[in-house]
Structure 1
Amino acid sequence: MNAVLLAVLIMIILSLCRLNIVLSLFIGALVGGLTAGMGLTETISHFTEGIGDGAEVALSYALLGGFAALISYSGITDYFVGRIIRLIKQDSTVKARVWTKVLIIVSLTLLSCMSQNMIPIHIAFIPIVIPPLLSLFNELKLDRRMVAVVLTFGLCFPYTLLPFGFGHIFHEIIKKGFDQAHYAIQFGDIWKAMLIPSMGFIIGLALGIFLYHKPREYRQTEVAAFQVKDISRYTVTITLLAIIMTFVVQLLTESMIFGALAGILIFFVFRVYDWKTLDDELVNGIKVMAYIGVVLLTANGFASVMNESGQVKSLVENMVTLTQGDKSLSIIFMLIAGLVITLGIGSSFATIPIIAALFIPFGQQIGLSPLALISLIGTAGALGDAGSPASDSTLGPTAGLNIDGQHDHIWDTCVPTFLLFNIPLLIFGYIAAMVL
């Protein structure tokens, strides 16, 4: 068996057996390197060299985690959630209940989208925002499957299309994948290539709201009362300034690292709280996101071993023979492969280095344009992220919605998001790869 194919299969199988993804990636890389005849020392050497290629992305994740912790500690999110709860409980007429549902869906969609770009705190907002709203959801008979779809949409759609916050990291990983394959592309072309595939998320969101708009009964349980933190205008002002500076500096420097650093420094320079408290919160936030960074580093090491094994070319030739060089069939084959790999790993970010190593030479063989290749790799990476049981995009919503034990992770989050987002993504990703 081809060493690259064997390595990928081992990695997927071990991941699906719930072995830690870092260990799965390392074992897969080790088996692939040894099977390719590289030897233990050479395999480890290439693995180590590949880790360095993901250092910038890993540091970006860690700093964003710290920044998110400082935003949360400031109490600004608690403050705004408290205001929203008071507003939507003031009127209980039928018309008001309908408008309340609309307000909730729109607000959660915007908030989850902003958590990826404008206020890059990822899933950190969910345990703050969702549990206090559950009693209201129960009273309104709001189907939590719709809420799960909305939250997952906001956690996935922005990073696939917009090059800001986590989107900048996602696009940077795609760019690095092309760089490793010695294929020159422009960073600014990535969002253009992802414009068509990302429409699949919008279709999935619309379908989810339509399918799950009917009332659903939940038993009313005792949820902890929501306590709004006392927050001064000065704290609100400095927090908003930190968020704006993060966004502006990222635009000016094209670096998420310096953007996150700018936001963190605003908190320290203006002394919203004492430095010891801020430092403790910063370290805790970094710890939360550090694991994702380690997964990304390991995935880069895996991809490096695969690239240096010398067997990517033979695998590509076999894939071309299998599909008989048919462009349409080859694209379908690559999208399905991307879906399976992402489901196994549980992270689209960690998937990109692996599928880029396989897809770029294959795409060149069948004559795909640079934009078509970008859209294909970006789509294949995003596929599965919305439905994998191990993905942050599904684990986050479930953690908030199942606080009272009435929301099943697989059937109420993973199955709806998998069907509603991945099928449209497959269709729009195929269209993009064919027409670009």
Structure 2
Amino acid sequence: MNPLSSSGSDAARPLATLLHLLRRARDAESEHVLGFVMVNETINLLPYRQAALWRGGPLGRIVSLSGLAEVDATAPHVQWLAAVCKVLPASMPLQRVTAADLPPVLAADWGEWLPANLLFIRLEQPGIQADGALLLARDAAWSDYELTLAAELAHGYAHAQARFAPERSWRDRVARLWQQGKSRRRLLLLLLVLACFPVRLSVLARSEVTPQEAMLMRAPLAGVIERIEVQPNQPVTAGAPLFSLDSTVLAGQLALASTAQDAAAESFRQQAQLAVTEDKARLEMASEQARLEQRRIETEYTSRQLARIHVKAPRDGVIVFSDRNDWLGRAVAPGERVMQLADPGRVELTAWLPASEAIHVAPGSKLRLFPNAAPTESYDAVITRVAYRAEVGEDNVLAYRLYARFSAGQPLPRIGQMGTARIYGSWVPLSYYTLRRPLTWLRQWVGW
């Protein structure tokens, strides 16, 4: 027999045994079978007297023992082994352990439960909740060569064990990130600070610059609008004509009333002449005088009504209405609003806060107007009053109406200017600001 070939065969035997054990681990049909292979067949590669498999986690326990089909968790030997695994440092994946490495309370019972030398092989796969350890104990010391084989075996066992283990929970992942290096701890700390960073809660709302305490210019009586004398947003002075109603009906009524008054005056004159000679005419003269007074009152009333069809501005200001063509030829009722007379120096902001995005706002809250026609300009304002009930607006969106006063020291926007208002609420953490809308949608969908 060739001594060189015999020496080569002896050197290859551990490698073949290692490959065989790894295949056995990969082919294991269950976690129980894999544990049996670890504690009972590893002896073919690393001779030992006792072996145990420990499963880590908050409730660490011994799950397999060499030579036993079942493990009694209440046995003193099993409880002592679990306590030993918990006190060994997790930073060392492979370590030689003796009684001197344990606390005195555990070291006192070493001779009763284990041989002198223990090899602690930690089984852990990154990203998988499958940590644990394989314990191999014997009387002889463990060599460096055996530690090399044990390290390779531990990697294969951990990979096979990961198939039967659930993925790590988010708490375990956060804890693992926190434990792995200063850079990850700093990143987690930075994310925590950013999540708690205070920001101003705000929403966007459609808005319009409206006059404050505008004077309503109403139709004085029923009729049809004949002329509009002004243009929208036109400045006017006191006494300037604004609009007129059709005078055809009233002019006819005035002509009839005047004719009736003249007839009544002539009848009264005749009765007055007859009253000089006839007693009966003297009695009828009082009736004719009352009829004349009635006709005179009707004529004066119709004349005053005819004068009212011409509406004039009672003071200086700016005329606010939509379009002249919308009113020409339109029939109006008495008191119906036709236009507004506003003071350009007294304006306010009206905003519509959507009910779906409503935040807590109250008088004194701030907002900022961004006009549509002037993207480079903005105006600050303070909310003065808030509607208590939402109403459907022009865009068919349920919204709360807000009124705001523009801050002093800035030029006022023109009346009728449209824009978007950013309404500011209270200070909240950045995490709440980011998750507010998803949480609102989830709450509406789930119903809690």
Q: Name the structure where strand makes up a greater proportion of residues.
A: 2
TM-score of Structure 1 vs Structure 2, range by shorter chain: under 0.3
Q: Larger relative CO (CA 8 A, sep 6+): 1 or 2?
A: 1
Greater per-residue helix proportion: 1
Give the TM-score normalised by the residue count of structure 1: 0.19
